[in-house]
Structure 1
C-alpha cells in the first residue's frame, strides 16, 4: 500500500495526548536547528549565501508546518501541497548542487525533526504517567508518521530537482555548445563575462584536447571525471563533434607536466577507447590550436586504418606525418625517391619495409626477430635484400629512409 493511500490515517494513529503534544512544538526554534544542521551537513559551501539560506529556511518552515498538521491529524498526507521545498529543489539544480547533497539534507533535517517531537512525546508521557507500553506505541506511531511524510515529500522534491536539472542541463549544454563553436571559429571574438560564466571553463588555462571518435556525447560525459582525475586537471569541457564523436578539453591553470600527459594516456588505454590527443597549449588560442591538432591526429589515424593505428594516439607521436602530409604530391615523390623498389605495392616490398622499420626502431636483429616472430637469420636476409634493392647501405641517408617508411603507411591508404 502506498504512502498516499495510508495518508488519511497517519496522524490519527497517534493517541489524542500525543497529537496534542505534537501541536505544542515550537516550530520557529526547531526550524533554526534544522536549517543550521542542513547547512553544516549538506551545504557548507553555501552557508554564507544569504539568498540560498533564505530559500532553505522557507522550505524547512513549510515542511514543519505541514508535518505538524499531519501529526495532529489536521491534515491528511495526500492533501499536503508544498511549494517552497519544490522551489528550493529548483534553486539547488540551478546552483549545480549535487542531488546527493539534497538527499543528505533531508535525512539530517528529518532526523532533527523526529528527535524534537520524540523528546516532547517522551517528556509528556513521563509527566502524565502514561503507561510504558502506550508511550512506546505512541513513539512508534510518531516514527511511522514522520517517515511516511518524509518519503512522500522527498520523492516529490527529488522529482522536481531531476526535472529542473534536466531542463537546465539541456539548455545550458545547448548554449555552451554554441559558445564553443564560436570560440573555434575563425577570428573568434572574446566571450563576454556572462558567457564565460555559462561556459564554466577556464579559457586562460593550459589545455589538452582529447578527441573520442567513437564515443557519443552521453557516453563521453561519464568519462570526463575519470580523465580529469587521472590528469589532475582543474576542469573539463565537453563538446559533441557529431552524433557519434566528442571532443573533451582538460584545463590546468599551472600548465601541463609530462607525467600528467602520460597518466591521461594510460587512463585512456585502460578504458580501451579510441582517443586522439593534442599537445598542451595555453589560452583561448590554445583551445583552437588543440582542436586543430586532434583533427590532424585523427586524419593520420584514418589514413592508417583501425588495424594499424594504436587505440590512443598523441599529436607528438605523429607530428612528422602531419607536417609532411601537408603536400601529398611532394610526399609521394619523396617516398618513391627514397625507397625506390621498396615502395612497390607488393607483399615482398611490404615485408621488407616492415622489417626495416622495426629494425630501425629496436636497433638489433635479435629484438627485431622477437618483435616480428621471425628467426634472426630471416631478419638478416630481409635487411640484406632491402639493401640490395636500395642500391646503398641502410645507414646511408638513414633519417630520410625512416621518414619515407613512416610516410608510405599513410600514402598507401
Structure 2
C-alpha cells in the first residue's frame, strides 16, 4: 500500500453516503469553478490566453474526475497523473510559469476542491433527512483529496522542473540566436514566437548600448536602474566579445530626450565605458541601433582617455562617415587644420588646446581644464588661428571633427 493511500485511510473508510455524493458531483460545473478561481487568484497574467485556460480547464476536469471516482470507490488512490494534468504540466513549463506559481496552483487547488466537497456534503446533510452527520461525510473524502493532490504534486513537480530546465535552455538558445542575427544584419524578426523568445514587443522603439564589462546580468542592479530610468520592461543582453556586451532597451512610446538623458545618467553613474546607438523603430531598429553602438564604442577606444566614459553615436556620426574612407578623411584633416596638422610636441600641444577650447567654449574653462594660466590659453589661440588661417569661431564643427579624426586615425604627432 503506497504512502498516499496510507495517509488517506488514517481516518477510516469512506462513508456510503459520501460515495453517493461523489457519483452525483457535476464535473463540468466543478471544473469551471476551479479554473476560474485559479486563473483569477494564481495566474491572472494569463487570463487572456485562451489556449492556456483550456488546458487549465482540462487539468481541473481530469483531476476532479479522478478524485470523485476514488471517493466513490471506483478507482484506487494510487493512480498516475491524468492526461489533462500532464498536458497542463508540460505547457506550464514551456511558457515559463515560475516554479513557485506552479506549486501554488496545486496548493490553492486543494482548498478549492475541498470547498466544493464541503458544499456538496453540507447540502446532502441538510436535504437527505438522514441522521448522517457532516463529520462522516467530510472525514474520509477530505483525506483522499489531500492525499491525491499531495501525490500529484510529488509526481508532477519533478517532471515540471525537468521540462522547465529544458525549455529554458531552448529559449535561451533561441534568444541568443535572434540577437546574433540582429547584430549581423536585419533578419526576419517577426511573429509572436520571436517576441515571446525575446520578451519584448518588436513594434516599439529600441535603443542599444555597447558596454565594456566582464559580466552582465539582466537581474543586476544596473539592469534594474536602466529599466527604471527609461521605462523599459527588460534589458536584452548579448556577449559580443570578451569584456564587451551589447544591450537593448525597448519602449512602445519611443525614447524622447528625457528618457535618453536618464539612460546616459545611469550609464555615467555606473563608471563603465560604454556607447549608445541612436533609437530606432521596429525589428530593423534592433540592428541599426546596436550597429551604431558598436561603431561608437570602437571610436571611443581610439580616442582613448580623451573620450568621455559614455559616448553617443549621434555625437560621432560625422567621424564615422569620414572614417569609412580614410584617404578622404586624411585630406579633410589637412584641409581644415593646415599648418596645425604638422608634427612635433608644440603642434600637439596647440591641437589639444584647440580641441578643449572648441568643446568648452571659453578661455577660462580651457585654462581650468588644461591647468594653465588664462593668458597662456589666449596666446595659444592666437598662434592656432595663424596656423589655420582663420578665427577659431569659423567652421567650428569642421575643425573639431578634423581634430578628433586625426586622433581616431592614429596620426603621429
Task: Report the TM-score when normalising by structure 1.
Answer: 0.71
Corresponding residue SS for 1:89: helix
C-alpha separation in 1, matches of 2:322 and 2:333: 11
C-alpha deviation, 1:322, in angstroms: 1.6
Bigger mean CA deviation after superposition, 117-126 or 50-59: 117-126
CA contact (8 A) 1:21 1:120 kept: no
Change (3 A) 1:221 1:155: farther
Partners of 1:333 and 1:174 in 2: CA distance:
47
SS in 2 for 1:276: strand
Structure 2 gaps, min length 5: none
Unpaired segments ≥5 residues, structure 1 = none
**Aligned-pair CA distance for 1:104:** 4.4
Q: Say if 1:379 and 1:21 are closer, same or farther in 2 by CA, change over 3 A.
A: farther
Deviates more, 1:382-391 or 1:36-45: 382-391
Q: Structure 1: how far apart are the matches of 2:204 and 2:269?
A: 27
Task: After superposition, give the CA deviation of every residue in 1:251-309 in whole Å (9 maximum; x if it has no partner).
Answer: 4455442223223333444555544221123445544433431221122122134x554
Match of 2:92 in 1: 92
Contact 1:335–1:404 (CA under 8 A) maintained in structure 2: yes
Would you say 1:10 and 2:10 are equivalent positions?
no
Call closer, same or farther: CA 1:14–1:361 in 2, change over 3 Å: same
Aligned partner (choices 376, 381, 388) of residue 376 of structure 2: 381
Distance, in Å, in 2 between the alignment partners of 1:156 and 1:340 is: 82
SS at match of 2:206: strand
Separation in 2 of the partners of 1:355 and 1:383? 10
Answer yes or no: is the 8 Å Cα contact 1:42–1:101 preserved in 2.
Answer: yes
Q: Offset of 1:316 from its aligned partner?
A: 1.2
2-structure distance, mates of 1:234, 1:276: 21
TM superposition score normalised by structure 2: 0.71
C-alpha distance in structure 1 between counterparts of 2:53 and 2:168, whole Å: 24
Q: 1:50 to 1:363 in 2, by over 3 A?
A: closer
Paired residue for 1:363? 361
Residues 238 and 249, structure 1, Cα contact 8 Å, conserved in 2: yes
- SS of the aligned residue for 1:207 comes to strand
Partner of 2:321: 323
CA distance in 1, matches of 2:46, 2:297: 43
Is 1:259 aligned to 2:258, yes or no?
Answer: yes
Q: Is 2:163 the partner of 1:164?
A: yes
User: What SS is found at the alignment partner of 2:87?
Assistant: helix
Cα root mean square deviation, aligned? 4.7
| Alignment match, 2:194 | 199
Equivalent residues, number: 393
* 1:35 paired to 2:35: yes
> Once the 2 structures are TM-superposed, how far is the Cα of residue 315 of structure 1 from its aligned partner?
0.8
1:268-279 equivalence runs, <5 A: 268-279=267-278
Question: SS where residue 318 of structure 1 aligns?
Answer: helix
Aligned position for 1:403: 401
1:113-124 alignment, distance < 5 Å: 113-117=113-117
**Offset of 1:311 from its aligned partner?**
3.9
Q: For residues 270 and 72 of structure 2, what CA distance do their matches in structure 1 show?
A: 56
> Equivalent residue of 1:404, what SS?
helix
CA apart distance, 1:341:
6.0
Cα–Cα, structure 1 residues 388 and 244, in superposed 2: closer, same or farther, change >3 Å?
closer
Q: Does 2:118 match 1:112?
A: no
Q: Distance in 2 between matches of 1:288 and 1:207?
A: 9
1:401 Cα offset (Å): 3.8
Tell me: CA distance 1:182–1:406, structure 2 relative to 1, closer, same or farther (3 Å).
Answer: closer
330-339 vs 118-127, which deviates more? 118-127
